Amino acid sequence: MTLAVEGLVAGYTREVPILRGVSVRAESGRVTAVIGPNGAGKSTLLKTVYGYLAPAQGRIDHDGRSLLGAAPKDMLGLGIAYLLQGRGTFAAMTVHENLELGAWLLRRDKGATARAFERVYARFPMLREKRRLAAGVLSGGEQRLLEIARLTMTGPKTLLLDEPSVGLMPALVEMVYDELKRLKDEGRFTILMVDQNVKKAIEIADYVYVLRLGENDREGPQDAFRGRLDEIVRAWI
C-alpha cells in the first residue's frame, strides 16, 4: 500500500494553515520519516491523513483510493492504524483488555480474534506473560510496545506513528526502535512516522522528508542525511 500526500494545506482553522502545500510519499514495505523543528507541522500532517483535520486543499491517496472525507472511525477498516503521540494505554485495564480494544473490528469473528491474539502474543512474549496485569504497571517502554501491538491486531497495511519515543528514557527508546525495526524488516507495512528523536528516525528510515514552517524543506534517501545531523539541526535554530 502506497500513501501519497500532494499539495496538502491544512490546520486547526481555515484562516491560519499549518501545512502549506506539503507533499509526502510513503512506499509499501518501507519506513518514511518526517522530521523538522517544533511547529513544522509534522503531527498536523498525520492528523490530517487520519481524518482528524479536513484539508483546505490537496490530495491524500492510499493505494490509489482518496482518503478525503474519510473519518477516523473509518481508517482501520481502510487498513490504516495510528499511534498517537503520548501515552495511549488504558492504565486500569489489563494488557489483554487493551489488546481487545485493538481487535474491536474483529469482535464478531471469534476465530479471527483468536488468531490475532496468538499472532501478537507470539510476537510479544512479554505481553503474554503480563496479559493479566493492569497496563498502568508496565514501564513506559512496555506500554509503548503494548500500543504498537494493539495497532497490529487487525492486520493494517499502513502505520502512522506520531513521536513513538516521546518521553522515554534512552534504554526504552532503544526497546521501541528495536520493535520498529522488526516491523520494517517484515516488509509488509507502509510506515509513515514523525519523531523529535532525529538520530533514531534517520537510522531506521528508508526515505526522509524535512518540514519547516509547514512546507517541504528537503528530502532524500537515508544516505543523504547520514553524517549531516548537526548541519540539519543548526538550520532549524
134-176 tens-digit pLDDT: 999 999 989 999 999 999 999 999 999 999 988 888 888 998 9
Cell 499472532 sits on residue: 119
**54 in helix, strand or coil?**
coil
Q: Is residue 183, in this structure, part of any structural domain at all? A: yes
Q: What is the pTM of this model?
A: 0.92
Within 12-108, where are the H helices? 42-49, 72-75, 95-102
- pLDDT by 10s per residue, the chain, length 237: 799 999 999 999 988 999 999 999 999 999 999 999 989 999 999 999 999 999 999 999 999 999 999 999 999 999 999 999 877 899 999 999 999 999 988 888 899 999 999 999 998 999 999 999 999 999 998 999 999 999 999 999 999 999 998 888 888 899 899 999 999 998 889 999 999 899 999 999 999 999 999 999 999 999 999 877 777 777 775
CA 50 – CA 219 distance, rounded (Å): 22
Q: Which of 59, 14, 21, 27 is nearest to 217 (CA)?
A: 21
Q: Is residue 139, in this structure, part of any structural domain at all? A: no
Between the CA of residue 86 and those of 3, 93, 209, 222, what are the distances in Å? Answer: 24, 18, 22, 26
Q: Which of 28, 145, 3, 16 is nearest to 88 (CA)?
A: 145
**135 in helix, strand or coil?**
helix
Q: Is residue 133, in this structure, part of any structural domain at all? A: no
Q: Is residue 42, in this structure, part of any structural domain at all? A: yes
Between the CA of residue 165 and those of 6, 112, 116, 141, 177, what are the distances in Å? Answer: 27, 30, 25, 8, 8
Between the CA of residue 150 and those of 95, 131, 143, 198, 229, what are the distances in Å? Answer: 10, 13, 10, 25, 32
Q: Is residue 112, in this structure, part of any structural domain at all? A: no
- The backbone region for 64, taken as left when phi is positive above 0, alpha when psi lies in -120 to 50, beta otherwise, is left
Residues 6+ apart with CB under 8 A from 62: 1, 2, 3, 4, 78, 79, 80, 158
Q: Is residue 107, in this structure, part of any structural domain at all? A: no
**56 in helix, strand or coil?**
coil
Q: Is residue 109, in this structure, part of any structural domain at all? A: no
What per-residue confidence (pLDDT) applies to 106?
87
Count of domains in the chain? 1
Expressed as residue numbers, the domain containing 227 is 3-87+156-236
Q: Is residue 93, in this structure, part of any structural domain at all? A: no
Laid out side by side, the sheet with 65-66 consists of 19-26, 3-10, 57-62, 65-66
CATH of the domain at 214: 3.40.50.300
Query: How is residue 136 annotated by DSSP?
Result: G
What per-residue confidence (pLDDT) applies to 226?
81
Model pLDDT for residues 53-78, shown as the tens digit of each residue: 999 999 999 999 999 999 999 999 99
